[in-house]
Amino acid sequence: MSALFAFIIIFPTVVFVHELGHFLFARMVGIKVEAFSIGYGRSILSWVDKHGTKWKLGLFPLGGYVQMLGQNDLPGKTEKAKNTAEAAQHFEHKTAGQRAMVIFGGAFFNFIFAILVLWGYFMARGEPKVIMSQVISVVHGSSAEKAGIKEGDLIEGDVQKIVNESGGDFVKLVINGQEKWLEPKEDSGRYVIGVAYNLSPTEFEKLGFGAAAVKSVSFTWEASGRTLSALGQIITGARSVRELGGMITISEVGGRALDAGFMPFLFILAIISINLGLINLIPIPMLDGGHLFFIGLEAIIRRRVPEKVKLVAFNIGFGFIILLMIFVNLNDIMRLFGI
């Protein structure tokens, strides 16, 4: 039940923040926003504001969109401005810089939202000072099993970080208050001891207004770097694609955080907002990063990219995203059934 409740909160929140970024930047540069929707399918709630924007809440809250005058994700379907007055509010009649700013606005707001949430988190709860890794499973025949590590054991610090920093040499771990030496094994470019674990901060130090602000920015930057690094390792094969998760994984993580309390849930909400912003900036057609790529290319060649080229790229990108969505959610289902 916690996972479902977390899903209902997390997805609409981070999507709303993302689309709000597009919306506000579009308004800033004078583009008419025709619709702002959270969710897809039949509208269960809608109204039109004084600027002519239709605000909608869709039946299926799995995404959202901002529909701007003259902007269409499908190449070749964009309508030209009918007159001078409409051209002034038309997406395609804005400069490359203005259109790029509107497209980037979604991810930008996800990062700003995460920073604000983390700012409050570090002031209210504090920065983790003592971190424990709680073992949730042990690989048969691994160094961990040979050392007598069992499910539920608490290991001081972030196990993976400590093991990786060992460079493959014997590493000292403090397990349930006792020191043990283990020999890491190399696996796909990294060192492992054969445990799966959850990080569990046990002591926090509250930060002041300024220190919390600095920490929230640095943490967002570092979290972004870690995510990009992990994606790079998955692409190169250094990490398993089985680590990718979909909606079920996000809901489960959010549910566990919610069970732990409001502050842990806020922390997870910020992390998911960061990841949504990053994913949308990947230069794949259909995603914001794909649109930014073509706008950047347009600025370099000083003319519009042919619609036929965009259409081919769109179809490739669309196919890739559909396959990726199927794969990550299939991963989730396989984990549920222990496959």
The answer on pLDDT for 180 being more than 70 is: yes
Is the Cβ–Cβ distance between 144 and 195 less than 8 Å? yes
**Mean per-residue pLDDT, 29-36:** 92
Q: Which residue has the higher pLDDT, 215 or 142?
A: 215
Q: How far apart are CA 86 and CA 218, in angstroms?
A: 43
Q: Which of 19, 86, 186, 203 is catalytic?
A: 19
Residue in the structure block whose two tokens are 């549910």: 255
Q: Which two tokens stand for residue 26?
A: 């579009």
pLDDT above 70 covers what percent of the chain?
90
Of 12-16, 20-24, 150-154, 162-166, minimum mean pLDDT range:
162-166
One-letter amino acid at 270 equals: A
CA 44 to chain centre: 27
| Token pair listed for 230 | 């992990």
Please confirm, yes or no, whether 19 is among the known catalytic residues.
Answer: yes
Establish how many alpha carbons lie within 13 A of residue 110's alpha carbon, considering only the half-sphere containing its beta carbon.
28
Give all domains of the chain, ordered by start, each with its CATH number: 2-122+274-336 (no CATH), 127-205 (2.30.42.10)
Going by C-alpha positions, the residue among 12, 101, 32 that lies closest to residue 291 is 101
Q: For residue 31, what pLDDT band results from cuts at 50, 70 and 90? A: very high
Question: Which pTM was predicted?
Answer: 0.79
Residue whose C-alpha is closest to residue 1's, from 307, 330, 256, 212: 256
